[in-house]
Amino acid sequence: MTETSALGPAVAGSTRSALSHLECSSTGERHEADTLHTISRAGRPLLARYDLDRAAHTLTFDRLASRRADMWRYAEVMPVRDVQHVVSLAEGMTPLLAVPRLGAELGLRHLWIKDEGRNPTGTFKARGLSAAMSRASELGASAVALPTAGNAGAAAAAYAARAGLPCHVAMPRDAPQAVQGEVRSYGAELTLIDGLIHDAGAWIAQGCSKHGWLDLATLREPYRLEGKKTMGYELWEQFAARAVGVALPDVIVYPTGGGTGLIGMWKAFAELIEMGKIEARLPRMISVQPCGCAPVVRAYEAGQNRAEPWENAHTVAPGIRVPRVFADDLVLAAIYESGGRAVAVSDEAIVEAMHRLSRLEGLDPAPEGAATLAALDLLVQQGHVDRDEHVVLFDCGTGLKHPELRPAS
């Protein structure tokens, strides 16, 4: 069997996953990996751990060259054991685009955009939900459920359809119409909540305890993180392929709601170091939130390790309207450990950045993705980014879901 024929397994059926156990992110307590879990016994996120010595032997650039062109190419450090349980729509391996016109305007020589809008369902939520749905299917879940700002609901509904699993989605009533329509199209049951994502979370938690649905809320199950971490593995591979002289970017700018991607990439870099694939010089992780909902920024500015809930959250970027960040400690740890920062941007700056990315580079970003450009503007003005540094902005979704934010004329 060649590496391209499946996930690169030596034995038919096996993915070659080196998953060993789950670990409580707070206490370090071990949990067995091959039964369904949500949070740890201490009530905190569970992190998937791997036999990285073993994984390092086969997770090489040579082998990767002949593997499938999606996030499942990193099979050794993915949690699914059997190929038949991989629930995939070809997510990941999104382009890393150089944006020289935008770079020139900002005075930066090496500016890149990771275009996550190319993913199935139009956002990087596809990565997390592909991984979570695969594991839910492998471990025998009978139905899944999640609260969402919108995009994760669309992705969950699509992957549940692909897996043949019933799916229950709850989102704020004012979530984008486009996303509500997607969830219904994929056949999931949609409940609209008069409130925000945490109110939807309370509704879903009740349904889970009443009906036995598996709760796939952000970081309340271990595997969405594993899907999102592949963005870090892709940067490692894509930077190597471009031979730009650095193994990873100097700066990563990431729009932060629940923080799964930020925590996930930080986890990926730690795994790569442990496998001996990269040196300890890591990107500064910049967390971006809207001024109308910035609990992580407020905690960062006060030097705190936990973030208080944000009152009266509002923004044009629904994916980053997350007033209560469940894994706040992990988000803040990634920012502090990396020497990064947290930056708040106004809605006006977000909309202006959307239009600027389209006019200058032909991209059609989600407002959440455009928020990273608005933040970069501030970082450059304040001298936090050097003109010779390699900077990656995460454009996490397509602008097609937001017709209301198009230029009026």
Ligand X SMILES: Cc1ncc(COP(=O)(O)O)c(C=O)c1O
Which residues lie near ligand X (CB under 6 A)? Answer: 123, 125, 149, 151-152, 218, 255-261, 319-320, 366, 368, 396-397
CA distances from 282 to 155, 202, 266 (A): 30, 37, 9
Strand pairing report for 390-395 and 19-24: unpaired
Q: Which is nearer to ligand X, 271 or 368 (CB)?
A: 368
Q: How far apart are the C-alpha atoms of 75 and 333, rounded to whole Å? A: 27
When the beta carbons of 9 and 227 are compared against ligand X, the nearer one is: 227
Please, what is the Cα angle at 309 between 47 and 337, to 5 degrees?
45
Given the complex with ligand X, which of 114 and 390 has the nearer CB atom?
Answer: 114
In the complex, least distance from residue 323 CB atom to ligand X, rounded to whole angstroms? 13
CB 34 → ligand X: shortest distance, Å? 26
Cα–Cα distance measured from residue 166 to residue 58, given in angstroms and rounded to the nearest whole number: 36
Q: How far is the CB of 394 from ligand X (least distance, A)?
A: 8
Q: Which one, 18 or 363, has the nearer CB to ligand X?
A: 363
Shortest reach from residue 16's CB to ligand X, in Å: 27
C-beta of 240 vs 270, nearer to ligand X: 270
Alpha-carbon span 104 to 106, nearest angstrom: 5
Q: C-beta of 5: minimal distance to ligand X in Å?
A: 32
Complex with ligand X: residue 232 or 257, whichever CB lies closer: 257
Q: Give the residue with the Cβ less far from ligand X, 15 or 218.
A: 218
207 or 319, CB closer to ligand X? 319
Nearest to 326 by CA among 310, 313, 307: 307
Give 149 or 158: the residue with its C-beta nearer to ligand X.
149
Which residues, in sequence order, are CB contacts of 210 under 8 Å at separation 6+? none
Minimum gap (Å) between residue 139 Cβ and ligand X: 23
What contacts 88, CB < 8 A, 6 or more positions away?
70, 72, 130, 134, 162
Q: Which is nearer to ligand X, 351 or 366 (CB)?
A: 366
Nearest approach in angstroms of CB 350 to ligand X is 11
What are the C-alpha distances in Å from 208 to residues 38, 43, 200, 212?
A: 11, 16, 12, 5
Q: Smallest gap, in angstroms, from Cβ of residue 355 to ligand X?
A: 17
Q: In which order are the strands placed within the sheet that holds 96-98?
A: 96-98, 110-115, 390-395, 251-255, 284-290, 341-345
Contact 391, 110 (CB under 8 A): yes
Residue closest to ligand X, measured at CB: 319
CA distance 70 to 159: 15
Minimum Å gap between C-beta 232 and ligand X is 12
Give the shortest CB-319-to-ligand X separation in angstroms: 2
Q: How far is the CB of 296 from ligand X (least distance, A)?
A: 9
Residue 6 or 330: the one with the smaller Cβ distance to ligand X is: 330
